[in-house]
């Protein structure tokens, strides 16, 4: 559900059209109990700024998420996602 929402907001067309090959970036963020997010950061860069930025923007555009379940004990859930794009 989280990844579906982010994928729907990911505009790969924003990646520099002159860049080819396989691109991969790893992004970390936190979802808090109320569904808000923070600390969106690139853990592993693809080396292509426009690609990394498109991944960050997809996460930011997807907020808020559903609140964390009451059974979850933590204050937030840390999530790491890998974005891949092949040209």
pLDDT tier, 13 (very low <50, low <70, confident <90, very high otherwise)? low
Checking if the pLDDT of 16 tops 70, the result is no
CATH T-level fold of 2-12+21-86: TolA/TonB C-terminal domain (3.30.2420)
pLDDT tier, 14 (very low <50, low <70, confident <90, very high otherwise)? low
Neighbours of 39 (CB within 10 A): 9
Domain map (residue ranges) of the chain: 2-12+21-86
pTM: 0.86
> For residues 58 and 35, what is the distance between their CA atoms, to the nearest angstrom?
16
């Amino acid at each position: 559900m989280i990844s579906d929402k982010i994928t729907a907001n990911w505009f790969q067309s924003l990646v520099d059209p002159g860049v080819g090959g396989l691109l991969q970036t790893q992004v970390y963020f936190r979802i808090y109990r109320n569904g808000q997010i923070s600390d969106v950061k690139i853990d592993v860069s693809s080396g292509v700024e426009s690609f990394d930025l498109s991944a960050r923007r997809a996460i930011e555009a997807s907020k808020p998420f559903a609140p964390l379940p009451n059974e979850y004990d933590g204050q937030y859930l840390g999530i790491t996602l890998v974005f891949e794009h092949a040209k």
